[in-house]
Structure 1
Amino acid sequence: MWTRLWPSLAPRLGASDAIILESFPDRTATDLINALADADASPDEIEQTIIKND
């Protein structure tokens, strides 16, 4: 779920890439780039997941 939801939600909360990576030390910058690309490719699905889990 992290790869789909957190990178999409974090910027809405004001989290920078650095903060995201500090919060998830087991993730790499490449993981973050890939997750953001995935989230950008599926904005409706991400939005529905956020709404469903709110």
Structure 2
Amino acid sequence: MRAKGVALLILGVILIALSFLLFGEPDIKAIIGALLMGVGGAAVVASLTFFMGKKPQMQ
């Protein structure tokens, strides 16, 4: 569970960094940059829920 969270966090940070490189470009590159920012942000939020979420208790 923690490995999945770490992988999503790294992926999210990389996608957000790539999106900043594409924002200055015109037309389609800016759209791709915005999509990368959205996916990267979602990956960061998902990784934080993996880290902060409580494990379900077994009965």
- Please say whether Structure 1 and Structure 2 have the same fold, judged by a TM-score greater than 0.5: no
> TM-score by structure 2 length?
0.31
> TM-score by structure 1 length?
0.34
